[in-house]
């Protein structure tokens, strides 16, 4: 699995959830995770989460740490499990970096009753994809929110955090693949 943190500021608008995005933009062919910083504004027309569309809840944040993951299989349930694994990795990593207790509920992270993250998993014609965004700043977010800055991290800490999470996720995926190769079948 390939990984990359790019220092390029990218506005996440939902169009990044398209097959081969990492290959088209960064030359990463195959399973990949890409992290970057940038604002987030997903209008209802680009939203994948139809529950949010029905609730008329567009997504907005002035600055987020984003993760785009693509796996080349077509098992959406497996990808949702991977999404939850990613959120657990992020939760553990943030707690280690900040000492602040976080709560994971499904595919979302919270500090007290304030939301830190957005995340969605979806299916393309050739792959499955995950987008996760962590608020860096909580200003002007349309829901009660917390940002990494509120947890004691700065915008300058985001690249190191993004790279660390990419590394941990790729290592976990590799370990899972290898775990399949060490057991014998039973009758």
pLDDT (tens digit, 9 = 90+) per residue, 107-156?
A: 999 999 999 999 999 999 999 999 999 999 999 888 889 999 999 999 89
CATH number of the structural domain spanning residue 174: 3.30.930.10
Q: Is 130 exposed, middle or buried (0-12, 13-18, 19+ CB in 10 A)?
A: buried
Q: Is residue 185 part of a domain?
A: no
Q: How confident is the model at residue 55 (pLDDT cuts 50, 70, 90)?
A: confident
Domain count of the fold of the chain: 1
Does residue 52 carry a pLDDT above 80? no
Nearest to 173 by CA among 16, 33, 35: 33
The pTM assigned to this predicted structure is: 0.94
Q: Is residue 184 part of a domain?
A: no
Does residue 56 carry a pLDDT above 80? no
Least confident of 3-7, 57-61, 96-100, 169-173: 57-61
Determine the Cα–Cα distance for residues 172 and 179; give it in Å rounded to an integer.
Answer: 10
Q: Is residue 187 part of a domain?
A: no
Question: What domain range is 120 assigned to?
Answer: 2-179
Nearest to 23 by CA among 11, 38, 33: 33
Which pLDDT score is estimated for 57? 72
Determine the Cα–Cα distance for residues 23 and 54; give it in Å rounded to an integer.
Answer: 32
Q: Is residue 17 part of a domain?
A: yes
Nearest to 134 by CA among 81, 82, 89, 174: 89
Q: Is residue 106 part of a domain?
A: yes
């Amino acid at each position: 699995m390939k990984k990359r943190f790019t220092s390029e500021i990218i506005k996440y608008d939902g169009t990044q959830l398209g097959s081969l995005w990492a290959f088209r933009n960064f030359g990463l062919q195959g399973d990949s995770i890409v992290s970057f910083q940038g604002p987030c504004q997903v209008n209802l027309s680009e939203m994948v989460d139809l529950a949010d569309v029905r609730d008329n809840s567009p997504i907005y944040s002035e600055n987020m740490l984003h993760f785009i993951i693509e796996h080349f299989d077509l098992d959406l349930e497996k990808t949702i499990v991977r999404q939850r694994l990613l959120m657990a990795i992020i939760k553990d990593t943030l707690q280690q970096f900040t000492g602040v207790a976080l709560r994971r509920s499904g595919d979302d992270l919270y500090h007290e009753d304030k939301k830190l993250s957005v995340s969605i998993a979806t299916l393309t014609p050739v792959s499955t994809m995950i987008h996760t965004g962590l608020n860096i700043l909580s200003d002007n977010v349309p829901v009660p929110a917390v940002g990494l800055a509120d947890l004691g991290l700065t915008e300058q800490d985001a690249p190191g955090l993004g790279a660390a999470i990419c590394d941990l996720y790729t290592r976990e995926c590799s370990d899972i693949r290898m775990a399949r190769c060490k057991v014998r079948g039973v009758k």
